[in-house]
């Protein structure tokens, strides 16, 4: 970017404005802000790129030296953002911006975005070190912990296997309880970590770490609870009905009464996923499908081609490679890549639609004319939302039909897929209620009876019974509470965003068509809509502004809930 020319033209502009007489905004301040933004970009962009490439290489190779390079690059970024003098200057700019002194909207927005990035790093380095060390120690304990049962150690996937397949209630109970044992191992240190994180938040002027994290992500606790209360209302009955059906099937499988179902009777340790109780083979249509070609054809057909992304991506299993999937925008200038491990089944069809959904919502379609600082997605929840909006098509018979994927028994696929989709979303939404409310309350008062708080919430929102007389720190067996704090709610809000944008497309592009019939294939108007309404603003809008811009309304659970009606 040509910062010098920008600054020169601004100086001319500033001079002109001075001659024109007094204005509310100060051209000098705007100029100072632009200079700060340009300097930030010059310094941090190469570090971002280095970190992005190191991260990519590390995940492909699995080599320690690549992970080390990533860490070095990340430390340099942190060092740049923790610079005290820079932050002091930025703080002045932010105050000036809040007074209305910066007349250029995008520059003002850049100041807000940068302020939050730097604020996060203005912590006493000794305290930060203590927090990182403690979090690492707890994570380490998670990694080495093995559930012990019958004198044998079990890996995480062995535990899951028992929970998925065993019909012996006693065995299930023992394995479930053993898997929760890690909670007791880490609970003490977790509490210490929570208190240190709260101390860090207080240093920055926030009442606790939860409030700080939300603030850094342009969210606040009261608004969030209101949104989740609305979501609770709209999902409570459909969830109860879906769960009643699941419970009946589970009880039958274990030859017990529904009333005797306990937490260990669900198929994963937290009942965050839908138990496999429906005889549905969603994988069959994909056994012979070319998943990459389907994605290429689909995205090209809606005017969002991804051939360049595919060419740079690493999509199939290899030794040493990360088993997961992700999409990364390396340079915010079009170098966008996907890492995946495709096998021909429904999971990977959905995952590829998801990751490539992230890839179209990137610097591929966010204009280069925007400053680097805001040339990326508005928020984690909006990019997850877009990815989920496309991911859902792997369970749509109409979509598969139109894409030319042959289904032997379309009616059976339709019924099963709709049910699985619906149950997954409902179950996940109730689980997110527990996570959000637990974390918020835990950071507000870490010394309360957390064991009780956890099970009160699980009973209320997931309708899962607390085992009689159980008094154990079961919340502490969820690693996300340690390693990805105050984050889960964004996935849920992403789902709401996905539904709301999809319903808007049905209304505006398809003239009010039934959203469940709208499948996008072959319609370039969809790509146009996504570009104009969702991608092109980048981070010049916050997530609320973008939701309004794209859908005309604030984010709400209305569309998400409507997706469950009549199915």
Which positions lie near Zn ion, rule CB under 5 A? 387
Q: Considering the complex, state which of residue 387 and residue 416 has its C-beta at the smaller distance from Zn ion.
A: 387
Q: How many CA atoms lie within 13 A of 185 on its CB side?
A: 19
> Could you tell me the smallest distance in angstroms from the CB atom of residue 325 to Zn ion?
8
Cα dihedral sign, 268-273-279-282: negative
Q: Considering the complex, state which of residue 232 and residue 329 has its C-beta at the smaller distance from Zn ion.
A: 329
> Could you tell me the smallest distance in angstroms from the CB atom of residue 351 to Zn ion?
9
> Could you tell me the smallest distance in angstroms from the CB atom of residue 327 to Zn ion?
7
> Could you tell me the smallest distance in angstroms from the CB atom of residue 299 to Zn ion?
16
DSSP 330: S
CB 182 within 8 A of CB 476: yes
Per-residue burial over 51-73, b if 16 or more Cβ lie within 10 Å, else e, is: bbbbbbbbbbeeeeebbebbeeb
Q: Considering the complex, state which of residue 340 and residue 457 has its C-beta at the smaller distance from Zn ion.
A: 340
Q: How many CA atoms lie within 13 A of 436 on its CB side?
A: 27
DSSP 271: S
Q: Tell me the residue nearest to Zn ion as measured from the CB.
A: 387
> Could you tell me the smallest distance in angstroms from the CB atom of residue 69 to Zn ion?
24
Q: Considering the complex, state which of residue 212 and residue 338 has its C-beta at the smaller distance from Zn ion.
A: 338
Q: Considering the complex, state which of residue 390 and residue 455 has its C-beta at the smaller distance from Zn ion.
A: 390
Q: Considering the complex, state which of residue 118 and residue 298 has its C-beta at the smaller distance from Zn ion.
A: 298
Return d(Cα 189, Cα 191) in angstroms, integer.
5
**Crossing angle of helices 543-551 and 380-391, rounded to 10°:** 40
SS3 content of the chain, % helix, strand, coil (to 5): 65, 5, 30
- DSSP lists the bridge partners of residue 326 as 339
Strand locations in 140-279, DSSP E? Answer: 147-149, 152-154
> Could you tell me the smallest distance in angstroms from the CB atom of residue 384 to Zn ion?
5
Q: Considering the complex, state which of residue 190 and residue 387 has its C-beta at the smaller distance from Zn ion.
A: 387
Helix (H, G, I), strand (E, B) or coil at 339: strand
Show the DSSP H helices in 445-488 as ranges: 450-457, 480-483
Helix (H, G, I), strand (E, B) or coil at 316: coil
> Could you tell me the smallest distance in angstroms from the CB atom of residue 491 to Zn ion?
8
Q: Considering the complex, state which of residue 387 and residue 555 has its C-beta at the smaller distance from Zn ion.
A: 387
Return d(Cα 216, Cα 237) in angstroms, integer.
34
């Amino acid at each position: 970017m040509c910062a010098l020319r920008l600054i020169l033209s601004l100086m001319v502009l500033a001079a002109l404005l001075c001659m024109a007489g007094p204005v509310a905004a100060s051209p000098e301040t705007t100029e100072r802000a632009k200079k700060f933004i340009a300097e930030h970009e010059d310094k941090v962009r190469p570090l971002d790129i280095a970190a992005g490439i190191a991260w990519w290489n590390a995940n492909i190779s699995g080599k320690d030296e690549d992970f080390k390079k990533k860490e070095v690059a990340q430390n340099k970024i942190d060092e740049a953002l923790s610079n005290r003098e820079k932050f002091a200057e930025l703080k002045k700019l932010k105050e000036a911006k809040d007074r209305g002194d910066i007349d250029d909207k995008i520059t003002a927005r850049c100041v807000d975005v940068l302020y939050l990035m730097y604020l996060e790093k203005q912590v006493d380095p000794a305290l930060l070190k203590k927090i990182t060390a403690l979090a690492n120690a707890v994570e380490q304990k998670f990694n080495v912990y093995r559930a012990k049962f019958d004198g044998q150690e079990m890996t995480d996937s062995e535990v899951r296997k028992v929970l998925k397949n065993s019909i012996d209630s006693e065995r299930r109970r023992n394995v479930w309880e053993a898997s929760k044992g890690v909670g007791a191992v880490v609970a003490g240190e977790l509490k210490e970590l929570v208190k240190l994180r709260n101390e860090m938040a207080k240093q920055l002027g926030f009442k606790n770490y939860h409030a700080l994290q939300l603030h850094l992500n342009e969210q606040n606790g009261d608004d969030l609870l209101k949104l989740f209360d609305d979501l609770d209302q709209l999902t409570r009955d459909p969830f109860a009905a879906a769960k009643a059906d699941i419970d009946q099937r589970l009880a039958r499988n274990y030859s017990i009464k529904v009333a005797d179902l306990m937490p260990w009777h669900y198929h994963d340790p937290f009942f965050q996923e839908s138990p496999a109780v429906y005889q549905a083979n969603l994988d069959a249509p994909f056994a012979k499908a070319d998943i990459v070609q389907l994605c290429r054809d689909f995205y090209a057909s809606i005017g969002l081609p991804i051939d360049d992304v595919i060419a740079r991506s690493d999509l199939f299993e290899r030794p040493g490679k990360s088993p997961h999937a992700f999409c990364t925008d390396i340079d915010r200038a079009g170098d966008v890549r996907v890492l995946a491990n495709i096998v021909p089944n429904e999971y990977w069809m959905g995952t590829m639609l998801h990751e490539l959904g992230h890839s179209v919502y990137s610097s591929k379609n966010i204009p280069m004319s925007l400053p680097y600082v805001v040339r990326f997605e508005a928020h984690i929840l909006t990019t997850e939302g877009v990815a989920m909006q496309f991911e859902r098509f792997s369970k749509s018979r109409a979509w598969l039909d139109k894409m030319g994927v042959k289904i032997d028994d379309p009616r059976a696929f339709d019924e099963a897929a709709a049910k699985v989709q619906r149950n997954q979303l409902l179950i996940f939404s109730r689980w997110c209620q527990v996570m959000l409310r637990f974390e918020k309350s835990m950071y507000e008062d870490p010394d309360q009876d957390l064991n009780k708080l956890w099970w009160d919430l699980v009973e209320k929102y997931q309708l899962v019974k607390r085992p009689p007389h159980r008094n154990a720190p079961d919340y502490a067996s969820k690693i996300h509470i340690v390693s990805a704090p105050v984050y889960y709610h964004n996935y849920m809000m992403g789902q709401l965003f996905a539904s709301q944008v999809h319903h808007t497309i049905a209304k505006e592009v398809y003239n009010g068509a039934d959203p469940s019939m709208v499948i996008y294939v072959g319609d370039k108007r969809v790509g146009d809509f996504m570009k104009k309404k969702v991608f092109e603003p980048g981070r010049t809008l916050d997530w609320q502004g973008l939701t309004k811009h794209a859908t005309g309304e604030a984010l709400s659970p209305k569309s998400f809930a409507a997706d469950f009606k009549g199915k």
